[in-house]
Structure 1
Amino acid sequence: MSELKRLAYSILAFLREQTKSQAWNSDERESLEVAMQCLENVFKISSQDIHLAVSPPLTEIFSAAVTKDLIWNAPSEFTPSAQDVIRAEQLKNEGNNYIKEENYRAAVDSYSQAIELDPNSAVYFCNRAAAQSKLNNYTAAIEDCKRAIAIDPDYSKAYGRMGLALTSLNKHSEAITYYQKAVELDPENGTFISNLRVAEQKIGEASSPTGAGLGFDLASLLNNPSFVSMAASLMQNPQLQQLMSGMMSNAISGPAAGVGGLTDMGSLIQAGQQFAQQMQEENPELIEQLRNQIRTRSFSGSNEDQS
């Protein structure tokens, strides 16, 4: 109860300080006063109970939290013991092994324990970011990358992993900034260079009226013998031949010419759906490969080594 009283007194002092501001209207000021009365009545405290005050005052804590120079993001001044440093490194190595085993939750736990023992290591935060990303906890990964960068502004891997997390949230413009910094710090790293190029390509596709929606390399697809063979076989289908004939008739004579031709967008969509369905029936393995290519298109880093 004594700790609650100290907390309540801190809040009371904070609210009392706020009432001195001229920014409140009458309703807001009345609400503040009601809140203070509730604290005084429930916890049996008053502004005279100076012995309950904590240091630093809540006003200073609040001010530090809303400034741009937020101290929590900076390296800790805590100095771990030699024994803690050794144990933290052991926990980090355990986390790396869990990553290899794809036990990402256990990896997060190990890295978190290492951070508790030694909060000054950029590596621990950066490795935990990698594990968080594997669990799709991209916001947590971004925060860990920020901590790693604050500790070591020249740690290229932290920038690279920040880029990956931002990419997963479709924040490609922000990701490019971090990839560029990663490449600047480690210009020989092929993963950073590749990810930067893909992010730039994503931006280009989003701004291009023809590129949006293309999730695979069309040139590679047309050079795929299995796809070409399947397409040639499908084109022998009489129904598809009739649809293609109608399309060509429209292209030559105009949309109003051919009865039975592709005279509207609905017919075109229908033809495409039929073609796709028959492709799926003809070679489901190839179609699945194409789908996987679209899903996993090209961001490297999934097998990235841990530090």
Structure 2
Amino acid sequence: MEDKKCLAFSIIQYLHDQLQNGGLSSDAQESLEVAIQCLETAFEVSIEDQSLAVSETLPELFAAATKRESSEVNPAGSSVSEEDIAEAERLKTEGNEQMKVENFESAISYYTRALELNPKNAVYFCNRAAAYSKLGNYAGAVRDCEEAIGIDPSYSKAYGRMGLALASLNKHAEAVGFYKRALELDPDNDSYKSNLKIAEQKMEVPSPMSAPGGFDLAGLLNNPGFMSMASNLMNNPQVQQLMSGMISGPHNPMAGAGAGAGAAATGNPNPTDLAGLIQAGQQFAQQMQQQNPELIEQLRSQIRSRTPSASNDEQHQ
């Protein structure tokens, strides 16, 4: 009860100050006098009772509370300093520069460091989601878009990028919902309109490029992460040797007579029959699995028939 009386006293004290120094009209002053009398009666306090006064005035308490509420707070509960906010922005800008030169892994690193300093910034999550998508990590993109939307439910770009990630995972029905929400927030965005139309079509028509077992050749060839991995593999001397052995097999009319002996000398299987060809293919798949098992696992779960357009989504804030 004592705290309530102190609060009431602070309010009455503030109203008294407004009566004397507020420059109010006579009608307003009369209204304040009535309000003061009502408060004194309701809480049984008097402006004369200075024992109820606190060290700070009501305006000072209000200013301090407003400043605390406007501060960005991290999960640990501590305020994000102005220095951290500035450094996070610098890191975000560096990440955007890395995106422009297609150094996506480096961009992710910069965005992650920015989030460590300011974890309640929806833009940082959304930009990192774009970088994840460029590397074929659509699950990571979905998670970051969810975080961005949780922080800012009116952030249209987060919904658009969520749609792109879900469409890339062949979850077209879910992608449609996010594209529609993105268009509600940004109705003039042609990219969202185009991608919504594509997703709606994919809900109705199965992909002609998908094999019976669910393997999507078109999606595989459009996956930048896979193509990067394949390029690295083809520069691997062991893989080059393996492919050379496959090409020099009996199914190749230009194969040399010494191909079999060369393969035997190097220890690689000699694909002189179907079994040997299968064995060579298995070794190639094992090389791929060893180099990037996470991407291989993602490719197994993805059936992509057409990559949605991101032409209007390349700008990073």
Instruction: Tell which has more relative contact order, 1 or 2 (C-alpha 8 A, sep 6+).
Output: 2
Scaled by the length of structure 1, what TM-score is found?
Answer: 0.46
